[in-house]
């Protein structure tokens, strides 16, 4: 770090291209020719936001004291990086950028985001509320992150588990400069499922608990049916049987789906395939 405490003269920007098929890599090359402090890596195939983010962090860990990850849509405030570096100079090794408000979001986006964090917390996933992937990490923190070998990456859940000194910097998020969000509702839903099934076994426990509750209800219903039968009452049972069949059938399918999520993750992990391959670099 310089005497001003912000950044050294040899600091640089690493642009990470997630195997895009547009002119992104060409643009990064032009920026590098105009200013050598702009560098780049390009993945050999589109591997997703979390993998390309990890690739960028691992690519710079031996070249810096600390690195800041920020999305290229210009919504996160670059001015917050100054406060992040100050917190790093005060001894914090992970500094989270946390949104101070969501006034720029639509009602639906704001509500679904709050639901996302609420579900994560209820499921026991340790995430930072209103924090995405705008953060500073020290070299030691990035090295520790590299020790996590899972293929199903959920960095928002992994990084809080590292356990180093942390801080938060609040900032106001801007409107998107161009393009559209790559995380619509259903992708956010899938992202939330990935986070839950990667860090929590609570859904499986809830299935077992639900089964016990249903077993208790079934015993009570069986007692009631037997008492009605021996007392001579005629009970029309078609409706109740059909409702029960549909309910239990849905519950069984949902349970199989939850267990299948975990089996699918085991399937991906045991293959030990590389999470990404870097096809090209601009130094």
- Answer yes or no: are the C-beta atoms of 153 and 50 closer than 8 Å: yes
How does residue 3 score in pLDDT terms, banded at 50, 70 and 90? Answer: very low
Q: Residue 138's beta-bridge partner residues?
A: 66
Q: What is the pLDDT of residues 111-158, one digit of tens each?
A: 777 777 777 777 777 788 888 899 999 999 999 999 888 877 888 888
Lookup: tokens for 163: 């356990």
How does residue 31 score in pLDDT terms, banded at 50, 70 and 90? Answer: very high
Of the candidates 49, 79, 47, 64, the residue with the CA atom closest to the CA atom of residue 13: 64
| Cα atoms in the 13 Å half-sphere on the side-chain side of 260 | 6
Q: 106 pLDDT exceeds 80?
A: no
**pLDDT given for residue 86 in this prediction:** 93
Rounded mean pLDDT, 81-90 = 94
Q: Which 3 state secondary structure label does DSSP give 13? A: strand
- Answer yes or no: are the C-beta atoms of 41 and 280 closer than 8 Å: yes
Q: Which 3 state secondary structure label does DSSP give 108? A: helix
pTM comes to 0.71
Q: 233 pLDDT exceeds 80?
A: no
How does residue 26 score in pLDDT terms, banded at 50, 70 and 90? Answer: very high
- Answer yes or no: are the C-beta atoms of 80 and 134 closer than 8 Å: yes
Of the candidates 156, 160, 154, 93, the residue with the CA atom closest to the CA atom of residue 130: 156
How does residue 15 score in pLDDT terms, banded at 50, 70 and 90? Answer: very high
Neighbours of 23 (CB within 10 A): 10
**pLDDT given for residue 2 in this prediction:** 46
Mean of pLDDT over the chain:
81
Question: Rounded CA gap, 49 and 37, in Å?
Answer: 23
How does residue 57 score in pLDDT terms, banded at 50, 70 and 90? Answer: very high
**pLDDT given for residue 1 in this prediction:** 43
β 278-282/13-17 pair status? unpaired
Rounded mean pLDDT, 214-219 = 74
Lookup: tokens for 275: 């999470």
**pLDDT given for residue 91 in this prediction:** 94
Rounded mean pLDDT, 75-85 = 92
Question: Taking the alpha carbons of 123, 127, 133, 138 in that order, is the dihedral positive or negative?
Answer: negative
**pLDDT given for residue 181 in this prediction:** 60
- Lowest mean pLDDT of 13-22, 56-65, 76-85, 150-159, name the range: 150-159
Q: 273 pLDDT exceeds 70?
A: no
Rounded mean pLDDT, 44-66 = 92
Is domain 13-200+277-282 annotated with CATH 3.30.1540.20? no
Neighbours of 33 (CB within 10 A): 9
For Cα atoms 142, 145, 149, give the angle at the middle one, nearest 5 degrees. 145
- Answer yes or no: are the C-beta atoms of 16 and 69 closer than 8 Å: no
Sequence ranges of the domains in the chain = 13-200+277-282, 202-271
Ramachandran quadrant class, 273 (left: phi over 0; alpha: psi -120 to 50; beta: rest) = beta
How does residue 220 score in pLDDT terms, banded at 50, 70 and 90? Answer: confident
**pLDDT given for residue 172 in this prediction:** 87
Of the candidates 40, 37, 39, the residue with the CA atom closest to the CA atom of residue 8: 37
Q: Which residue has the higher pLDDT, 32 or 1?
A: 32
Alpha helices by DSSP H, listed for the chain, are 24-34, 49-60, 80-89, 107-122, 139-145, 155-158, 185-199, 202-230, 238-271
């Amino acid at each position: 770090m310089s005497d001003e405490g912000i950044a050294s003269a040899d600091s640089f920007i690493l642009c990470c291209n997630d195997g895009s098929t547009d002119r992104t890599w060409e643009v990064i090359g032009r920026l590098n020719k105009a200013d050598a402090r702009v560098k780049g890596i390009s993945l050999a195939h589109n591997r997703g936001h979390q993998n390309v983010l990890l690739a960028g962090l691992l690519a710079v860990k031996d070249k810096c004291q600390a690195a800041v990850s920020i999305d290229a849509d210009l919504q996160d405030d670059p001015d917050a990086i100054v406060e992040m570096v100050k917190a790093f100079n005060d001894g914090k090794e992970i500094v989270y950028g946390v949104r101070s408000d969501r006034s720029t979001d639509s009602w639906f986006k704001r509500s679904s985001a709050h639901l996302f964090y609420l579900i994560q917390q209820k499921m026991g996933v340790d995430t930072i509320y209103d924090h995405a992937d705008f953060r500073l990490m020290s070299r030691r923190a990035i090295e520790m992150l590299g020790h996590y070998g899972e293929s199903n990456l959920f960095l928002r859940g992994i990084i809080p588990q590292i356990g180093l000194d942390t801080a938060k910097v609040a900032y106001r998020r801007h409107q998107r400069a161009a393009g559209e969000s790559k995380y619509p509702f259903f992708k956010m839903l899938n992202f939330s499922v990935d986070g839950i099934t990667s860090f929590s076994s609570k859904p499986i426990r809830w299935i077992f608990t639900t089964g016990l509750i249903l077993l208790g209800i079934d015993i009570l219903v069986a007692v009631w049916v037997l008492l009605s039968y021996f007392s001579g009452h005629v009970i029309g049972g078609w409706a109740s049987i059909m409702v029960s069949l549909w309910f239990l059938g849905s519950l069984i399918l949902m349970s199989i789906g939850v267990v299948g999520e975990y089996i699918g993750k085991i399937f991906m992990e045991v293959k030990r395939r590389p999470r990404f391959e870097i096809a090209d670099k601009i130094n």
